[in-house]
Amino acid sequence: MDLLIFLGIGAVAGWIAGNVMKGNGFGLIGNMVVGVVGAFVGKYLFGFFGFAFAGMIGTLMAAVSGAVILIFIIGLIKR
């Protein structure tokens, strides 16, 4: 059940990150997929540096951060 919630948060994070990173997005579905992957990236990176987020809002913040970073990196590679 926690995984489903995390996937949902990742999808929302991808949508938010796509709106933040205008011009580097991948469409609605693509941004949601990148958001789910970015959620895992964000959770890992913040955990690696010793930051822990509690609750859905904290998880969403980490997921959006990871998704923005991932969209930025993919945008650099696509050039």
Residue 12 is which amino acid?
V
Total number of domains constituting the chain:
1
Ordered per-residue pLDDT tens for the chain, 79 residues: 678 887 888 888 888 888 887 766 677 788 888 888 888 888 888 889 988 877 888 888 888 888 888 888 888 887 7
Phi-psi region of 66 (alpha: psi -120 to 50; beta: other; left: phi over 0): alpha
pLDDT on residue 63? 86
The boundaries of the domain holding residue 71 are: 2-78
